[in-house]
């Protein structure tokens, strides 16, 4: 007869169960070192803001060479007032109380744990590629970029919107001169067509492509560096794109990015999904500012090789407050989609855990035979 239980088996069982369910035993916690994800590549460039990783753990009272550059970043995106000097602004390298307040504001706006320090989550967020439209905009900043926050989504100051008949039709066109060679014209058109269609599915607005660029409501182009709108691009990663509030209609993308429509085909570590970025910039063209909901299309940052094109409840509520609802749209379908996604993630986690437990049990059983 085979023994089904013995001292060695019970000890082995205990050790295996401990390895599977170790979070349930909090007697000893091994501290983990904070790390920051730095995007590096063997290509001929680095991420624009990768040097900010050296400020990890900085806090009030710190003085680090180059901190003035980080303060310039915070000023650019609306979190820090500029010194009363002519540009370029004469920021200091001191982590003072004013900068601490800016860090707290940044963490609050972007849904990061509020510490007032440059911890790993904050530095990682700062270094992430993002949209060039400001996040938190105060009355001292230029009127076209001021925002008014409502819930998680936000609007530009005055809640500007396109005003046409209902249903509304907005035209868009691509610059025949300011384009890129990495993708074909058809691939670019399909990416934007998909992005426009998602917004059109939730509001009573139709988007129609036209060939007459100068006559279009929305003008799309790829540009490099300083391109005459006061918002110069900065090379690979960093600022990916920017757009202007209604009824300006300009939508600009950084021509130096490695734009992609298929990550299976484009292997670059710094490839950026064109449709994802287009989706957010169209939101700006319609009048939405950045959201603090990380899952939302209107959240300001987007990592390389990441695709985020599906509108979330926050995106939809924001844009419908400006334009109303598409009569064919129902929130129930959107909620069902989001709930299904969350359930799938949870089920996958539970399935993996019990699969490991079952495998451990079988291993114990056969080791005792």
Pairwise pLDDT comparison (18 vs 104), residue with the higher score: 104
- Specify whether 194 is located in the same domain as 312: yes
Full residue range of the structural domain in which residue 101 is found: 50-128
Percent of the chain scoring above 90 in pLDDT: 68
Contact 97, 60 (CB under 8 A): yes
Across 107-237, the runs of DSSP E, i.e. the strands, are: 130-131, 147-149, 154-156, 168-174, 205-209, 218-223
- Whether 213 maps to a domain, the answer reads yes
Judgement on whether residues 161 and 310 belong to the same structural domain of the protein: yes
Pick the last residue of a domain from 128, 148, 180.
128
Residue 34 has a pLDDT of 55
Peptide bond into 366 cis (omega under 30): no
How many CB atoms within 10 Å of residue 222?
25
Three-state SS at 265:
coil
Task: Give the chain's mean pLDDT.
Answer: 82
Is-contact 261 187, C-beta < 8 A? yes
Least confident of 38-42, 117-121, 204-208, 230-234: 38-42
Query: Tell me, what's the pLDDT at 358?
Result: 45
Residue 135 domain flag = no
- Greatest mean pLDDT among 32-46, 150-164, 190-204: 190-204
329-352 mean pLDDT:
62
- Among the options 212, 266, 281, 317, which is catalytic? 281
Whether residue 210 is found in the same domain as residue 80: no
Please check whether residues 167 and 102 belong to one and the same domain. Answer: no
Domain of residue 103, CATH code? 1.10.101.10
As a whole number, mean pLDDT of residues 168-196 equals 97
Query: Model pTM?
Result: 0.79
Residue 222 sits in the same domain as residue 81: no
| 182-220 exposure pattern, b = at least 16 Cβ within 10 A, e = fewer | bbeeeebeebbeebbebbbebbbbebeeeeebeebbbbb
Residue that the structure tokens 């300009």 belong to: 250
Is 362's pLDDT higher than 60?
no
Given a cut of 60, is residue 27 above it in pLDDT? no
Whether residue 162 is found in the same domain as residue 307: yes
Q: Residue 239 in 3-state DSSP?
A: strand
In a domain, 75, yes or no: yes
Alpha carbons 201 and 322: distance in angstroms, whole number: 15
192 with 107, same domain? no
- Quick one: pLDDT at residue 297? 98
Q: Residues in the chain, how many?
A: 369
Q: Give me 82's structure tokens.
A: 């500029």
Residue 64, pLDDT > 60, answer yes
At 226 the pLDDT is: 97
Active site residue 186: no
Beta strands in the chain (DSSP E): 130-131, 147-149, 154-156, 168-174, 205-209, 218-223, 239-243, 250-254, 258-260, 271-273
Note whether 166 and 293 are same-domain residues: yes
Q: Which is higher by pLDDT, 110 or 359?
A: 110
Same domain, 181 and 269: yes
pLDDT of residue 369: 54
pLDDT above 90: residue 365: no
Cα(92)–Cα(346) distance, integer angstroms: 47
pLDDT tens digits for range 72-106: 999 999 999 988 765 667 899 999 999 999 999 99
Indicate whether 328 pLDDT > 70. yes
Task: Kindly report whether the peptide bond that precedes residue 88 is cis, defined as omega within 30 degrees of 0.
Answer: yes
CATH number at residue 241: 3.40.390.10
**Digit-coded pLDDT (tens) for 267-314:** 999 999 999 999 999 999 999 999 999 999 999 999 999 999 999 999
Do 249 and 112 lie in one domain? The reply is: no
- Predicted local distance difference test score (pLDDT) of residue 165: 85
In a domain, 101, yes or no: yes
Contact 178, 225 (CB under 8 A): no
Question: Which residues are bridge partners to 259 per DSSP?
Answer: 272
CA–CA dist 189, 179 (Å, integer): 12
Q: In terms of domains, do 161 and 258 share one?
A: yes
Q: Report yes or no: 161 and 238 within 8 Å, Cβ to Cβ.
A: no
Higher-confidence position of 63 and 24: 63
**Looking at the domain assignment, is residue 66 inside a domain?**
yes
Q: Is the pLDDT of residue 112 over 70?
A: yes
The count of domains in the chain is 2
Q: For residues 234-258, give the mean pLDDT.
A: 97
The beta strand positions in 165-297, using DSSP E, are 168-174, 205-209, 218-223, 239-243, 250-254, 258-260, 271-273
Q: 262: pLDDT confidence band, cut at 50, 70 and 90?
A: very high
Residues 120 and 263 in one domain: no
């Amino acid at each position: 007869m085979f023994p089904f239980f013995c001292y060695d088996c019970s000890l082995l069982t205990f050790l295996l169960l401990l390895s599977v369910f170790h979070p349930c035993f909090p007697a000893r916690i091994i501290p983990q070192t904070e790390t920051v994800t730095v995007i590096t590549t063997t290509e001929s460039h680095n991420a624009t803001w990768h040097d900010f990783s050296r400020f990890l753990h900085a806090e009030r009272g710190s003085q680090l060479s180059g901190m003035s550059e980080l303060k310039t970043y915070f000023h650019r995106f609306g979190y820090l007032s500029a010194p009363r000097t002519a540009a370029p602004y004469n920021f200091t390298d001191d982590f003072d109380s004013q900068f601490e307040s800016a860090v707290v504001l940044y963490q609050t706006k972007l849904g990061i744990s509020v510490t007032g320090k440059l911890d790993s989550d904050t530095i990682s967020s700062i270094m992430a590629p993002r949209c060039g439209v400001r996040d938190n905009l105060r009355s001292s900043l230029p009127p076209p970029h001021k925002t008014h926050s409502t819930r998680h989504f936000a609007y530009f100051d005055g809640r500007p919107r396109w005003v046409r008949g209902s249903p509304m039709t907005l035209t868009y066109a691509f610059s025949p001169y300011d384009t890129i060679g990495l993708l074909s014209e058809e691939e670019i058109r399909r990416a934007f067509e998909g992005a426009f269609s998602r917004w059109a599915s939730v509001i009573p607005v139709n988007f129609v492509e036209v060939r007459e660029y100068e006559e279009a409501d929305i003008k799309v182009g790829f540009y490099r560096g300083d391109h005459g709108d006061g918002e110069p691009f900065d090379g690979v990663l960093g600022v990916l794109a920017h757009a202007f509030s209604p009824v300006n209609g300009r939508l600009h993308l950084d021509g130096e990015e490695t734009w992609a429509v298929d990550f299976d085909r484009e292997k670059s570590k710094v490839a950026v999904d064109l449709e994802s970025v287009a989706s957010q910039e169209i939101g700006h063209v319609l009048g939405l500012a950045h959201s603090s909901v990380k899952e939302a299309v209107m959240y300001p940052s987007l990592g390389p090789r990441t695709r985020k094109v599906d509108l979330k409840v926050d995106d939809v509520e924001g844009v419908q407050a400006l334009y109303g609802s598409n009569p064919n749209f129902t929130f129930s379908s959107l909620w069902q989609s989001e709930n299904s996604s969350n359930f799938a993630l949870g089920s996958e986690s539970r399935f993996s855990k019990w699969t490991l437990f079952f495998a451990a049990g079988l291993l114990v059983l056969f080791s005792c035979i």
